[in-house]
């Protein structure tokens, strides 16, 4: 009861306050509504101009830029978290493409799209070049994480057969070790990340950029089969 009263009081106060304000501002300046709106517009325009100017400002150096990624992707791109991909030592052209696709929205994401939009092409190139020169560490030997990958040998064995049957090695050569501008390294990647990513790739509604034959192969696989494949690639070094 007490609270309700107070609430009403505050509401009345707010209304009164609003009234007083509009009366005052009308007295001072007859077309009161218009300046208020344009003040907000001006603030918005100033904010947009500040963002534009900041984007146009010279980029930081490669290490400064790339080190900001480490909070999620680990120091020098060696991830410590099972759902976050390691990106250390990946080819610069591959990283540039992925970042451009995140930025344009071509590649769907939960958070990377919001982040990729913050970098110019020049900055993305600096980040990609920096990370392409860092050293890959297979997650099975990751020294820091509390969640060191436990690769399931039985699943990895089934995965090995699936990879062979599906002819994954035609592109993902050397059991996922080979990488180039279109192909990420998978040997020694985190199990959880591989599962999440393959699951996304198998969902054609997400329209993730990928070769047609990859899409056709992956969409036929069951969740269990994807998990087996993930364990196989993670077990490699």
Partner 1 sequence: MSNFTRRSFVKLTGGVAALGLVSMPSVSAFAAAKKRVVVIGGGYGGSIAAKYIRMGDPNIQVTLIEQNKDYYSGPLSNWVITGLRKLEVQKWGYEGLKKHGVEVVIDQVNAIDPAAKTVGTVGGKKFEYDRLIVSPGVGFKSIEGYDAEAEKAMPHAWNAGEQTTSLAKKLQELKDGDPFILVAPPDPYRCPPGPYERASLVADYLKKNKPKSKVIILDPKDKFSKMPLFTGGWKQLYGYETPNSLIEWIPGAQGGKVTRVDAKAMTVYTEMAEFKSSCINIIPPNKAGAIAEKAGLTDDKGFCPVNLETFESTKHPGIHVIGDASAAPGLPKSGYAANSEAKVCAAAVVNILNGRPVGIPSYVNTCYSLISPDYGISVAGVYKLNAGKIVEVSGGVSPGTAEDTVRKQEAVYNESWYQSIMADTFG
Helix (H) or strand (E) holding 160: helix 153-165
Min dist CB 9 to partner 1, Å, is 10
Residue with tokens 């830029």: 65
Contact letters (x/-) for partner 1, 97-116, by CB under 8 A? -------------xx--xxx
Given the structure tokens 């990377």, which residue do they identify?
112
Residue from 39, 45, 51, 223 touching partner 1 (CB under 8 A): that is 51
Cβ neighbours, 10 Å, residue 71:
9
Q: Which stretch binds partner 1 (CB under 8 A): 47-55, 157-165, 207-215, 216-224?
A: 47-55
Query: CB of residue 161 vs partner 1: minimum separation in angstroms?
Result: 28
1 binds partner 1 (CB under 8 A): no
Instruction: Provide, rounded to whole angstroms, the least separation between the CB of residue 7 and partner 1.
Output: 6
Answer whether 195's CB lies under 8 Å from 230's CB. Answer: yes
Shorter beta-carbon distance to partner 1: residue 17 or 211: 17
User: 195-229 burial string, b = 16+ CB within 10 Å, else e?
Assistant: bbbbbebbeeeeebeeeeebbebbeebeeebbbbb
Nearest approach, Cβ of residue 173 and partner 1 (Å): 28
Number of residues lying near partner 1 (CB under 8 A): 51
Residue 101's contacts (CB-CB under 8 Å, 6 or more residues apart) are 107, 209
Distance between CA atoms of residues 73 and 82, nearest Å? 10
- Whichever of 93 and 108 has its CB closer to partner 1, that residue is 108
Which residues here bind partner 1, judged by CB under 8 A?
Answer: 2-3, 6-7, 10, 50-51, 53-55, 57-61, 63-65, 67-75, 78-84, 110-111, 114-119, 123, 142-147, 192, 196
């Amino acid at each position: 009861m007490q609270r309700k009263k107070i609430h009403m009081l505050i509401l009345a106060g707010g209304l009164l306050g609003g009234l007083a304000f509009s009366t005052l501002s009308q007295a001072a300046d007859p077309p009161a509504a218009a300046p208020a709106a344009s003040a907000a517009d001006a603030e918005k325009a100033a904010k947009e101009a500040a963002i534009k100017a900041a984007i146009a400002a010279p980029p930081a150096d490669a290490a400064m830029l790339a080190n900001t990624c480490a909070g999620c992707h680990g120091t020098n791109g060696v991830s410590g978290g099972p759902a976050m991909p390691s990106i250390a030592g990946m080819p610069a052209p591959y990283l540039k493409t992925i970042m451009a696709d995140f930025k344009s929205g071509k590649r769907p994401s939960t958070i990377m799209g919001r982040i990729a939009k913050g970098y110019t092409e020049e900055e993305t190139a600096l980040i990609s070049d920096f990370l392409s020169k860092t050293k890959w560490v297979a997650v099975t030997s990751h020294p820091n994480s509390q969640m060191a990958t436990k690769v399931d040998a039985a699943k990895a064995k089934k995965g090995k057969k699936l990879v062979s049957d599906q002819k994954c090695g035609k592109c993902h050569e050397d059991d996922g070790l080979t990488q180039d501008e279109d192909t990420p390294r998978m040997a020694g990647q985190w199990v959880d990340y591989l599962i999440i990513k393959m699951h996304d790739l198998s969902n054609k509604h997400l329209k993730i950029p990928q070769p047609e034959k990859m899409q056709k192969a992956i969409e036929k696989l069951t969740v269990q089969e994807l998990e087996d494949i993930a364990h196989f690639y993670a077990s490699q070094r």
